[in-house]
């Protein structure tokens, strides 16, 4: 139960997790609870999930459970507000959106078969399904129909649908709302106001909402009569929280389904390697949809060599020609580049000076304009530092400073110059700063107001475009040749996603041009034929050879301090401690501490230590010991000596 208690001179909101009749303290030392929140207690199943997450992700129980409760409820002054009135008001605005039942498309044979398999699921048992199908194969219709049947069976039943990023997928949200016009949907994501989130959470907890649609944070929602969980785009990395409790909502969802004995459906066009492996081992049941509904065609993929480095030309002449042809044919083009701003760095023409950030080991990006600054500025995308561009080189005073490379703004500028008649639209984190602005940008694309759209990966999430004739992917290699072993898997998924968004429902097939220096790389070879199985098998064999996940389990120890020496000393001590334990005999490898790919961030020196294990259980035991060892020498998660901030992360997605 959520309560307010006296704490020193102030009062705090906390969670009562147990009641005891005995205390070692004198009665006079005990204090009474000031107030109890007007909420029903969290149910046992949710508490079990909290205990598990806290133990598995090596995070305090309080931090885990309390942070899962919306802030609105953690503010005790809200407890006396007229809740029913607030709910009614919230509903009134939500309902003005839509209430009409949309005629559902007829399901094809394959979809009907998929639903049949799911309908055979025995209530009260756990099973993980992988619903795997290319874009346009009707996966959403399958899981929505399945949920509909479960909700019909039991008037109190609830379902949880998790999506990677709701802000970018309003179409899917609308579709789900239209499928269940009679149902009260609770929507949970970080773009809502605290009050909206608080109300939605309350609706879920009381059973008033039968469908909860949420991002990763919705996994800890109390749902008294949960009957099924859906994880859409299960391979998306945003299901993994990077800061604090570094949990994977996808993994917790599977644990929750198992603990509550429910069916869980993982949905993807490009399943994660982890899921693929589990299917091959027979732990998950795969349901495949291979046909496309609604006249969907896969695009034709061509690999294009990048234009030789030149300051004036931003892409290969072949791409520019293709853009021209497509423009003349009256179809829209997407140009994707995962780098915002004008130029990733500026340099001095006479010496080696580059626009490095004062606080990070990375370069400051040149922006043509940034927020309220109307003149070109330098901005660090890691720590947020903003500076004017120097008049002259700080090292040699030469005034000839040149931008190097290209970002979304530069591509936008040059294309506008090349195609003066066309409307060029830019979609990136700078132009789409609020969900309202994002909606407006996407609306312009759907209305056909823009003919050439330049943007980051944001463009490839969620929206289906009807009139795209050409997609140009710039700088694809940038992701591939990082030291991250997951990079090929992420790139392949991204390219399939791009293809899926653009290939839909258009007349002539869309063309995708991918700029690469390494056309022989397996990622590009398999993407040419959209051969998911071929790519995954290749990926699995390389991972198995190298002993990487899913054939092993990993954990990272993160450490940062003001001085590099302190960080390395701390991590070397950790390594020594780990080597002294007996676990190294059980197939655990401890690597040397190494600086992170961005070794200095906002003035903090950062390094990490990788631990790899062939089995899950000994790794868990080892990490518990390690945490205990760290805690003895720390105040919270900051070491007493050297002030090193540390954390332990399970199953890291980026190394
Ligand atoms: Zn210089
Ligand atoms: Zn910085």
Centre of ligand 2 from the C-alpha of residue 430, in Å: 17
Same domain, 281 and 326: no
Q: Which ligand is nearest to the CA of 395?
A: 1
pLDDT in tens, 368-422: 888 788 889 999 999 999 999 999 999 999 999 999 888 999 999 999 999 999 9
Same domain, 469 and 501: yes
The pLDDT, as a whole number, for residue 504 is 55
Centre of ligand 2 from the C-alpha of residue 386, in Å: 9
Same domain, 122 and 238: yes
The CATH number of the domain where 588 resides is what?
Answer: 3.30.70.360
Same domain, 174 and 273: yes
Same domain, 250 and 160: yes
What average pLDDT does this structure show over 159-163?
96
Whether residue 93 is predicted with pLDDT greater than 70 in this model: the reply is no
Residue 62 lies in a domain: no
Question: Alpha-carbon distance 141 to 143, whole Å?
Answer: 6
Q: Are 549 and 539 in contact (CB under 8 A)?
A: no
pLDDT in tens, 575-633: 999 988 877 777 899 999 999 988 999 999 999 999 999 999 999 999 999 999 999 99
The pLDDT, as a whole number, for residue 229 is 98
Question: Alpha-carbon distance 137 to 42, whole Å?
Answer: 39
Same domain, 212 and 334: no
Whether residue 296 is predicted with pLDDT greater than 80 in this model: the reply is no
Q: How does strand 377-379 pair with strand 365-367?
A: antiparallel
The pLDDT, as a whole number, for residue 249 is 97
Of 542, 565, 587, which one is at a domain's C-terminal end? 542
Q: Which residue has the higher pLDDT, 111 or 293?
A: 111
Q: Which ligand is nearest to the CA of 378?
A: 2
Whether residue 482 is predicted with pLDDT greater than 80 in this model: the reply is no
Residue 523 lies in a domain: yes
Residue 11 lies in a domain: no
Centre of ligand 2 from the C-alpha of residue 372, in Å: 20
Of 521, 542, 563, which one is at a domain's C-terminal end? 542
Same domain, 491 and 468: yes
Mean residue pLDDT of the chain comes to: 90
What average pLDDT does this structure show over 490-512?
81
The pLDDT, as a whole number, for residue 104 is 64
Centre of ligand 2 from the C-alpha of residue 381, in Å: 7
Centre of ligand 1 from the C-alpha of residue 356, in Å: 13
Q: Closest Cα to residue 251, out of 650, 614, 615?
A: 650
Whether residue 230 is predicted with pLDDT greater than 60 in this model: the reply is yes
Give the pLDDT band of residue 573 (cuts 50, 70, 90): very high
Residue 393 lies in a domain: no
Lowest-pLDDT range, 101-110, 169-178, 213-222, 341-350? 101-110
Token digits of residue 339: 């780098």
> What is the percentage of the chain residues whose pLDDT exceeds 70?
95
Question: Alpha-carbon distance 19 to 32, whole Å?
Answer: 13
- Sign of the dihedral through C-alpha 151, 156, 157, 163: positive
What average pLDDT does this structure show over 436-445?
89
Centre of ligand 2 from the C-alpha of residue 168, in Å: 27
Q: Which ligand is nearest to the CA of 385?
A: 2
Centre of ligand 2 from the C-alpha of residue 13, in Å: 36
pLDDT in tens, 345-370: 999 999 999 999 999 999 999 998 88
The CATH number of the domain where 448 resides is what?
Answer: 3.40.50.300
Centre of ligand 1 from the C-alpha of residue 381, in Å: 23
Residue identified by tokens 């299960």 is 234
Residue identified by tokens 């506008």 is 416
Residue 269 lies in a domain: yes
Same domain, 205 and 234: yes
The pLDDT, as a whole number, for residue 166 is 77
The pLDDT, as a whole number, for residue 182 is 86
Whether residue 167 is predicted with pLDDT greater than 80 in this model: the reply is no
- Host domain of residue 641: 553-650
DSSP for 473-535 reads: E--THHHHTSS-TTHHHHHHHHHHHHHHHHSTT-SSPPEEEEE-S-TTSHHHHHHHTT-HHHH
Q: Which residue has the higher pLDDT, 137 or 284?
A: 284
DSSP for 194-208 reads: HHHHHHHHHHHHHT-
The pLDDT, as a whole number, for residue 533 is 94
Give the pLDDT band of residue 508 (cuts 50, 70, 90): confident
Same domain, 322 and 417: yes
The pLDDT, as a whole number, for residue 539 is 96
Q: Which residue has the higher pLDDT, 295 or 426?
A: 426
Return the percent helix, strand and coil in the chain, to nearest 5: 35, 20, 40
The pLDDT, as a whole number, for residue 360 is 93
Lowest-pLDDT range, 10-24, 87-101, 171-185, 439-453? 87-101
Same domain, 474 and 559: no
Residue 348 lies in a domain: no
Centre of ligand 1 from the C-alpha of residue 396, in Å: 4
Whether residue 149 is predicted with pLDDT greater than 70 in this model: the reply is yes
Of 289, 322, 352, which one is at a domain's C-terminal end? 289
What average pLDDT does this structure show over 114-119?
96
Whether residue 548 is predicted with pLDDT greater than 80 in this model: the reply is yes
Same domain, 505 and 564: no
pLDDT in tens, 186-226: 999 988 899 999 999 999 999 999 999 999 999 999 999 99
Residue 33 lies in a domain: no
What average pLDDT does this structure show over 83-112?
72
The pLDDT, as a whole number, for residue 597 is 86
Centre of ligand 1 from the C-alpha of residue 386, in Å: 21
Question: Alpha-carbon distance 212 to 160, whole Å?
Answer: 5
Question: Which residues keep their CB under 5 angstroms from ion ligand 2?
Answer: 357, 359-360, 380, 382-383, 385
The pLDDT, as a whole number, for residue 502 is 75
Question: Alpha-carbon distance 173 to 103, whole Å?
Answer: 16
Q: Which ligand is nearest to the CA of 347?
A: 1
The pLDDT, as a whole number, for residue 513 is 96
The total domain count for the chain is 3
Torsion angle of C-alpha atoms 135, 138, 141, 143, degrees rounded to 10: -70
Same domain, 419 and 484: yes
What average pLDDT does this structure show over 69-86?
91
Residue 167 lies in a domain: yes
């Amino acid at each position: 139960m959520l309560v307010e208690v006296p704490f020193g001179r102030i009062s705090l909101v906390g969670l009562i997790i147990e009641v005891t009749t005995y205390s070692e303290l004198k009665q006079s030392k005990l204090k009474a609870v000031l107030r109890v929140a007007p909420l029903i207690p969290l149910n046992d199943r949710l508490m079990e999930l909290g205990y598990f997450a806290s133990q598995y992700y090596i995070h305090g129980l309080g931090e885990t459970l309390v942070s899962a409760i919306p802030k609105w409820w953690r503010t005790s002054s809200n407890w006396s507000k007229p809740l029913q009135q607030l709910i009614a008001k919230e509903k009134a605005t939500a309902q003005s959106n839509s209430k009409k039942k949309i005629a559902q498309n007829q399901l094809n044979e394959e979809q009907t078969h998929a639903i049949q398999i799911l309908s055979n699921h025995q209530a009260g048992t756990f099973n993980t399904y992988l619903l795997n199908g290319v874009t346009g194969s009707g996966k959403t219709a399958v899981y929505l129909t399945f949920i509909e049947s479960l909700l019909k069976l039991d008037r109190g039943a609830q379902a949880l649908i998790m999506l990677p990023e709701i802000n970018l997928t309003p179409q899917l949200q609308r579709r789900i709302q239209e499928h269940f016009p009679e149902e009260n949907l609770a929507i949970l994501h970080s773009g809502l106001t605290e009050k909206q989130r608080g109300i939605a959470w309350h609706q879920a907890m009381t059973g008033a909402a039968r469908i909860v649609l949420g991002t990763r944070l919705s996994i800890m929602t109390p749902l008294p009569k949960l009957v099924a969980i859906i994880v859409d785009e299960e391979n998306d990395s945003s299901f993994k929280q990077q800061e604090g409790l570094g949990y994977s909502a996808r993994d917790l969802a599977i644990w929750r389904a198992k603990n509550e004995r429910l069916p869980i459906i993982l949905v993807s066009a490009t399943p994660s390697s982890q899921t693929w492996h589990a299917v091959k081992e027979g732990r998950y049941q795969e349901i495949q949809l291979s046909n496309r509904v609604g006249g969907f065609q896969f695009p034709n993929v061509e690999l294009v060599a990048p234009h030789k480095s030149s300051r004036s030309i931003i892409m290969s002449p072949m791409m520019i020609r293709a853009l021209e042809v497509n423009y003349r044919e009256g179809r829209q083009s997407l140009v994707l580049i995962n780098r915002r701003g004008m130029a990733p760095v500026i340099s001095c023409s006479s010496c080696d000076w580059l626009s490095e950030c004062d606080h990070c080991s990375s370069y400051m990006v040149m922006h043509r304009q940034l927020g309220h600054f109307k003149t070109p500025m330098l901005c660090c995308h890691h720590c947020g530092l903003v500076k004017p561009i120097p008049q002259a080189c700080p090292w040699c005073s030469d005034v000839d400073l040149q931008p190097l490379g290209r970002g979304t703004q530069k591509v936008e500028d040059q294309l506008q110059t090349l195609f003066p008649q066309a409307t060029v639209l830019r979609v990136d984190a700078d132009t789409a700063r609020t969900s309202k602005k994002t909606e407006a940008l996407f609306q312009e694309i759907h209305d056909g107001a823009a003919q050439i759209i330049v943007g980051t990966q944001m463009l490839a999430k969620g929206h289906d475009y009807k009139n795209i004739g050409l997609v140009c992917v710039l700088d694809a290699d940038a992701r591939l040749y990082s030291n991250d072993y997951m990079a090929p898997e992420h790139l392949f998924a991204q390219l399939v996603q791009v293809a899926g968004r653009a290939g839909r429902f258009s007349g002539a097939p869309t063309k995708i041009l991918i700029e690469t220096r390494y056309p022989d790389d397996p990622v590009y070879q398999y993407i040419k034929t959209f051969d998911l199985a071929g790519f995954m098998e290749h990926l699995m064999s390389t991972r198995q050879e190298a002993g990487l996940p899913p054939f092993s389990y990993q954990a990272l120890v993160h450490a940062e301090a003001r001085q590099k020496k302190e960080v390395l000393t701390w991590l070397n001590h950790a390594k020594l401690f780990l080597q002294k334990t007996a676990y190294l005999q059980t197939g655990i490898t401890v690597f040397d501490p190494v600086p992170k790919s961005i070794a200095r961030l906002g003035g903090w020196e950062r390094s990490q230590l990788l631990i790899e294990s062939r089995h899950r259980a000994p790794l868990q035991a080892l990490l518990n010991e390690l945490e205990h060892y760290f805690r003895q020498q720390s105040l919270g998660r900051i070491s007493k000596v050297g002030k090193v901030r540390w954390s332990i992360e399970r199953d890291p997605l980026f190394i």
